[in-house]
Amino acid sequence: MIPVRGFDGAVVAVLGLGRSGLTAARALTAGGAQVIGWDDGETGRAKAEAEGIVLRDLTREGAFEGVACLVTSPGIAHLYPAPHPAIAAALAAGVPVDNDIGLFFRSFATEDWDRFDVTPKVVAVTGSNGKSTTSALIHHILAEAGREAQLAGNIGRGVLDIDPAGDGGVVVLELSSYQTDLARALTPDVAVFTNLSPDHLDRHGGYGGYFAAKRRLFAEGGPDRAVIGVDEPEGLYLAGQMSEGPGDDRVIRVSSGQKLTGAGWTVFARKGFLAEWRKGRQVGAIDLREIAGLPGAHNHQNACAAYAACRTLGLGPKEIERAFRSFAGLPHRSQRIAEKGGVVYVNDSKATNVDSASKALAAFRGIRWICGGLEKEGGLEGLRAGLANVVKAYVIGREAEGFAMRLGPGVEAEVCHTMEQAVARAVAEAQPGETVLLAPAAASFDQYDSFERRGEDFAARVTAALG
């Protein structure tokens, strides 16, 4: 655990008593704070009381008298579409509002570091798609190279639940826009921006607000190195803001699909080959085509970002390549779960938006596509490029008919509603050389409580169908 510094003897309120909230409460207590908590749900309040946390309804008048800070969970709205009443009350009372990420960055460094030969580092990864895979891949590479590494944040352990860093240790954080938007302290040594596509727009007041939340990690974080995907205008803009000139190698530009030129430091993938260029010459290359855990151009972008981050930490191209080859990938992200009769079955339940689903469709040929769910803003227009690889779509979800209709006349679509029916139909009709792919292009909450549960259901149905 990372004891939270700076609140010894102070009263700190914690709003939202789920995983991150309870961990924050424990870490605050370990640092000497007096913690009070509140959760809108009875279950959260009961768990907190069982741990001895004093409850106080933070929505009541006068609740913030004597409170030094409010720590809120990332899922609770603090500005758009409207702030939670407790957050609004804290702000009105002049009480600072923070989250566990901010607490981590203010508390991670300790006096023990003065005795270390190598100062610990934090690598923070954000972006719309690929940040989980990129974070896990960086962690895997470091572990394979024998470096002390911990994975936390939006993946793995809660950020305050990790162990204090050892000599030369590295913490890899996956950070969502909800986390970067509110954190009062953001000081990574290496910051990674994968890409940007529309998501969570209601929480950020639109696309500009969403980008601004991601940008805070760089503009306010001031990392020593910035690894930035430049395949969208926002990434290109961010790289320009962080750089002092064309040859500034504090910024590493990353791309999947285009060759990057110039005097700076670049890492890009084209036609399955990763190339690293620095000061106008190539200094590294990896053939990604046969690396099973990183299929498709979107994973090649993740590989480029992870490669660049690890190069900033002193790892060589060959040891990074060896780690690539042993990377198994993450559950629910282009996860190959079965192969039978020449048909491959792939679980990409994490493809919850149009952009990530489109990239999954581009990674395979002859696709029997299971899609549908709670559709997000922006419609399905962004799927057009990948639909050429689809043999047939099997649509699930409460609004399956409407989703199927919006795919357009060029796509054969069967309305199945349930995962059970969709898998049964796809398995029955799939031919050798084809891929049965779950890449929903929609959220899961109309039928499942998480994308993980949806992916697990898909895997279980496939296993049962294949016998």
Task: Report the chain (467 residues): mean pLDDT per 10 consecutive residues.
Answer: 97 95 96 98 94 96 97 95 97 97 96 96 95 96 97 91 96 97 97 92 94 96 96 97 93 96 94 96 95 90 98 97 93 91 95 90 94 85 88 96 92 97 98 97 94 96 95
Do 63 and 197 sit in the same domain of this protein?
Answer: no
CA quadruple 398, 401, 405, 409: dihedral positive or negative?
Answer: positive
Do 402 and 339 sit in the same domain of this protein?
Answer: yes
Do 142 and 288 sit in the same domain of this protein?
Answer: yes
- The pLDDT, as a whole number, for residue 55 is 97
- The pLDDT, as a whole number, for residue 243 is 95
Q: Which residues of 419-433 are buried (b: 16+ CB within 10 A; e: fewer)?
A: bbebbbbbbeebeee
- The pLDDT, as a whole number, for residue 249 is 93
- The pLDDT, as a whole number, for residue 290 is 86
Does 255 count as an annotated binding residue?
A: no
Do 309 and 164 sit in the same domain of this protein?
Answer: yes
The whole domain housing 91 covers 11-98
Do 265 and 356 sit in the same domain of this protein?
Answer: no
DSSP calls for 222-238: --SEEEEE-SSHHHHHH
Does 135 count as an annotated binding residue?
A: no
Q: Are 239 and 315 in contact (CB under 8 A)?
A: no
- The pLDDT, as a whole number, for residue 254 is 98
Q: Is 127 left (phi over 0), alpha (psi -120 to 50) or beta?
A: left
Do 393 and 462 sit in the same domain of this protein?
Answer: yes
Does 259 count as an annotated binding residue?
A: no
Q: What is the CATH number of the domain that holds 55?
A: 3.40.50.720
Do 121 and 54 sit in the same domain of this protein?
Answer: no
Is residue 228 included in any domain, yes or no?
yes
Does 350 count as an annotated binding residue?
A: no
Task: Please state, in angstroms and rounded to a whole number, the distance separating the CA atoms of residues 175 and 70.
Answer: 20
- The pLDDT, as a whole number, for residue 306 is 98
Is residue 2 included in any domain, yes or no?
no
The encoded tokens of residue 424 equal: 């049964």
Do 114 and 241 sit in the same domain of this protein?
Answer: yes
- The pLDDT, as a whole number, for residue 204 is 95
Domain count along the chain: 3
Do 67 and 177 sit in the same domain of this protein?
Answer: no
Is residue 78 included in any domain, yes or no?
yes
Which residues does 348 contact at the CB level (< 8 Å), separation at least 6?
A: 332, 333, 334, 335, 356, 357, 360, 437, 438, 439
The encoded tokens of residue 126 equal: 């954000």
The encoded tokens of residue 430 equal: 């799939």
Bridge-based pairing state of the strands 273-278 and 265-270: antiparallel
Which residues does 114 contact at the CB level (< 8 Å), separation at least 6?
A: none
Task: Please state, in angstroms and rounded to a whole number, the distance separating the CA atoms of residues 382 and 335.
Answer: 23
Task: Please state, in angstroms and rounded to a whole number, the distance separating the CA atoms of residues 18 and 211.
Answer: 27
Does 195 count as an annotated binding residue?
A: no
Does 347 count as an annotated binding residue?
A: no
Bridge-based pairing state of the strands 170-174 and 11-15: unpaired
Which residues does 61 contact at the CB level (< 8 Å), separation at least 6?
A: none
Is residue 440 included in any domain, yes or no?
yes
Kindly report whether the global pTM for this prediction surpasses the value 0.85: yes
- The pLDDT, as a whole number, for residue 385 is 79
Do 257 and 358 sit in the same domain of this protein?
Answer: no
Does 133 count as an annotated binding residue?
A: yes
Q: What is the CATH number of the domain that holds 450?
A: 3.90.190.20
Is residue 3 included in any domain, yes or no?
no
Is residue 195 included in any domain, yes or no?
yes
Is residue 319 included in any domain, yes or no?
yes
Do 399 and 437 sit in the same domain of this protein?
Answer: yes
- The pLDDT, as a whole number, for residue 330 is 86
- The pLDDT, as a whole number, for residue 380 is 85
- The pLDDT, as a whole number, for residue 229 is 98
Do 154 and 193 sit in the same domain of this protein?
Answer: yes
Domain boundary among 274, 293, 325: 325
Sheet holding 11-15, edge to edge: 54-55, 34-38, 11-15, 67-72, 97-98
